[in-house]
């Protein structure tokens, strides 16, 4: 576990450097720093896979997680380019949303493949219903949250059930395993940080006056804690 911890520590240093420059303004250098910060959680996951003798099931799950983290890395870059090059903000926003959507679906596929136990369909059905309900709530509370999705309403509708799905599935499967699967428990906690980050980002992207330094710091800190925790959770697979 030494190398994953080293890369995670370096990632936190890069996160501090990125946020320090990000609150001062958006430049190509902030995008570079963010890309290296995100590369760190990829390194953590790859090191966890490379330094542990996993069986076939756990190796397959690691592959799903690493692929989802790769989508996260791409999304981090494209969404930051939205601020660095605002004249191209629309395509970068769509690209960022799409890769995160695919990344969450890959997370879901990994969770179902590794942790679902056949013969317990309610542990699949309930998370799906929760995810769909969350989508409805997001779309109906646009005025309450003081946001305007405008031309992005379609992609928000597609993304919102997927972003809650990783919390719904990981929480459901954690209960299915009676909270005895440590990596699954870590994943669930991390997914809550992920959801919290996206809720802040919702205001940053679609609200007014919600791109303050405190919003930037809390958003990115909770997001990177989530991704690094998911990557580190691989070290606890048995």
Q: Please give the DSSP secondary-structure letter assigned to residue 127.
A: H
Whether the Cβ atoms of residue 21 and residue 30 lie closer than 8 Å to each other: yes
Whether the Cβ atoms of residue 64 and residue 106 lie closer than 8 Å to each other: yes
CA distance 130 to 123: 11
Strand partners, 147: 207
Q: Is 146 left (phi over 0), alpha (psi -120 to 50) or beta?
A: left
CA distance 127 to 176: 12
Domain count of the fold of the chain: 1
Q: What is the pLDDT of residues 139-176, one digit of tens each?
A: 888 888 888 888 888 999 999 999 999 999 999 999 99
Q: What is the pLDDT of residues 37-85, one digit of tens each?
A: 999 999 999 999 998 889 999 999 999 999 999 999 999 999 999 888 8
| C-alpha triplet 54, 72, 157: angle, nearest 5° | 120
Q: What is the pLDDT of residues 86-139, one digit of tens each?
A: 888 889 999 999 999 999 999 999 999 999 999 999 999 999 999 999 999 988
This prediction's pTM: 0.94
CA distance 100 to 93: 11
Q: Which domain holds residue 28?
A: 2-236
């Amino acid at each position: 576990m030494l190398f994953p911890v080293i890369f995670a520590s370096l990632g936190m240093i890069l996160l501090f450097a990125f946020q320090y420059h990000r609150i001062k303004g958006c430049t190509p250098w902030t995008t570079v720093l963010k890309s290296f910060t995100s590369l760190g959680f990829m390194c953590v996951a790859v090191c966890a896979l490379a330094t542990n003798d996993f069986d076939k099931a756990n190796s397959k799950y690691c592959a799903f997680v690493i692929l989802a983290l790769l989508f996260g890395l791409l999304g981090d870059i494209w969404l930051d380019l939205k601020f660095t090059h605002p004249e191209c903000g629309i395509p970068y926003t769509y690209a960022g949303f799409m890769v995160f959507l695919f990344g969450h679906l890959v997370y879901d596929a990994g969770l179902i493949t590794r942790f679902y136990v056949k013969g317990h369909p309610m542990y699949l059905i309930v998370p799906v219903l929760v995810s769909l309900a969350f989508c409805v709530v997001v779309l109906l509370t646009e005025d309450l949250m003081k946001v305007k999705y405008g031309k992005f309403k379609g992609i928000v509708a597609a993304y919102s059930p997927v972003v809650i799905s990783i919390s719904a599935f990981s929480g459901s499967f954690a209960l299915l395993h009676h909270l005895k699967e440590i990596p699954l428990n870590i994943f669930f906690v991390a997914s809550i940080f992920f959801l919290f980050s996206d809720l802040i980002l919702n205001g940053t992207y679609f609200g007014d006056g919600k791109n303050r330094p405190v919003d930037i710091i809390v958003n990115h800190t909770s997001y990177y804690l989530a991704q690094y925790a998911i990557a580190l959770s691989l070290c606890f697979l048995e």
